[in-house]
Amino acid sequence: MTGYGRGVFTSEDYTITIDLKSINHRYLELYFKIPKNYNFLEDKIRREISGKISRGKVEISVIIEQFSSIEDQVELNQSFMRSYLKIIGELKENFGIEGEIDLKTIVALPELFEYHQPDIDQEKLFENVRQALDMALHSLIDNRKTEGKGLCRDVREKLATLENYRMTLLARAPKVVAAYQEKLAKRIGELTEGIEVDPSRLATEIAIFADKSDITEELVRIESHLGQFQQILEITEPIGRRMDFLIQELNREINTVGSKASDITIAQLVINFKAELEKIREQIQNIE
């Protein structure tokens, strides 16, 4: 599900800003933008987020502004400097190279300085980070809930459409057998004109067809699955994966209906049912 949340927390040492951006995804994937010096926070933040969100691609941006008196320490790499000057001297002596090196050239050497970051109280910092993270998560979840309510209304409308298709299929099923009986009797009459036909044999053929084309059980299970769908929409906990499962079950049942029925009207209803079911499947990818 999509959404955005920001949290800002200020302590005596830091100002911490966390931005969370979520887009639709079937599973939970987290992407971090965090200063290298604070990479130790990533696992802790990951655990906090995964405990409250189960779906979506979430981008986590962490900005930490340090304004305490503690500063990074810079030291001269003296052994490197001595080696560097020694080599310069050898170049001039052995190859007759003239010229002098200046301070600008020296300070540009990447290995000349060593940077030491002061020790960080990781637990204290994370407690501050958690404050900002909680604010950002609260805002993000509120945004996702608002979107979820709209999706829920849309899914309910589509479920009502599926129920209408189911009722139409239920009403059409007996007519298929009657139409087959009429068609079979007419065909046999044409082929056996003047010859008496055993009624019991005709009844047996019709009974076999009725058994093979019976879709009552499938429609009953479809009714049950649609009812479960409605119930799940009332639950406040994550429901996306359960809805995925019900979509698969509904697909299985309606496919069986389509394979059993040798009727144009039922075939068209099956196509319409599957098209509406696909719309729901696409929507629930956005539901946690």
Q: Based on the fold, state whether residues 61 and 92 are members of the same structural domain.
A: no
pLDDT of res. 211:
52
262 has a pLDDT exceeding 60: yes
Q: Based on the fold, state whether residues 198 and 213 are members of the same structural domain.
A: yes
Length of the chain: 288
Q: Based on the fold, state whether residues 46 and 132 are members of the same structural domain.
A: yes
C-alpha 125 chain-centroid distance? 31
Helices 199-212/122-191 angle, 10° precision: 170
Across the range 13-20, mean pLDDT stands at: 91
- Residue 275, C-beta contacts closer than 8 angstroms, at least 6 positions apart: none
Q: Based on the fold, state whether residues 85 and 200 are members of the same structural domain.
A: no
- Token pair 């980070």 is found at 129
Distance CA 113, CA 81 (A): 10
Q: Single out the residue in 143, 158, 188 at which a domain terminates.
A: 143
- How many CA atoms lie within 13 Å of 208's alpha carbon, on the beta-carbon side? 7
- With a pLDDT cut of 90, the percent of the chain lying above it is 29
Q: Quote the domain boundaries for residue 235.
A: 147-284
206 has a pLDDT exceeding 60: no
Q: Based on the fold, state whether residues 29 and 136 are members of the same structural domain.
A: yes
pLDDT of res. 202:
57
Q: Based on the fold, state whether residues 63 and 138 are members of the same structural domain.
A: yes
Q: Which of 71-75, 112-116, 237-241 has the lowest mean pLDDT?
A: 71-75
Q: Based on the fold, state whether residues 204 and 269 are members of the same structural domain.
A: yes
Distance CA 95, CA 118 (A): 44
SS3 category, 220: helix
H-helix or E-strand containing 56? strand 56-66
Count how many domains the chain has. 3
Distance CA 256, CA 274 (A): 12
Q: Based on the fold, state whether residues 139 and 246 are members of the same structural domain.
A: no
Check if the beta carbon of residue 232 is closer than 8 Å to that of residue 246. Answer: yes
Q: Based on the fold, state whether residues 47 and 166 are members of the same structural domain.
A: no
Across the range 64-72, mean pLDDT stands at: 66
Token reading at 176: 């298929």
Distance CA 204, CA 26 (A): 51
Check if the beta carbon of residue 148 is closer than 8 Å to that of residue 288. Answer: yes
Q: Based on the fold, state whether residues 97 and 188 are members of the same structural domain.
A: no
Model confidence at 42, pLDDT cuts 50, 70, 90, reads very high
Model confidence at 70, pLDDT cuts 50, 70, 90, reads low
Q: Based on the fold, state whether residues 58 and 77 are members of the same structural domain.
A: no
Bridge partners for 4 per DSSP: 21
Check if the beta carbon of residue 127 is closer than 8 Å to that of residue 245. Answer: no
Helices 122-191/41-50 angle, 10° precision: 40
Q: Based on the fold, state whether residues 130 and 108 are members of the same structural domain.
A: no
SS3 category, 31: strand
Backbone angles phi, psi at 195, to 5 degrees: -110, 135
pLDDT of res. 209:
56
Mean pLDDT value across the chain:
81
Model confidence at 7, pLDDT cuts 50, 70, 90, reads very high
Per-residue b or e along 109-121, where b marks 16 or more CB atoms closer than 10 Å to that residue's CB: eeeeeeeeeeebe
**What's the burial of 84, exposed, middle or buried (CB within 10 Å: 0-12/13-18/19+)?**
middle
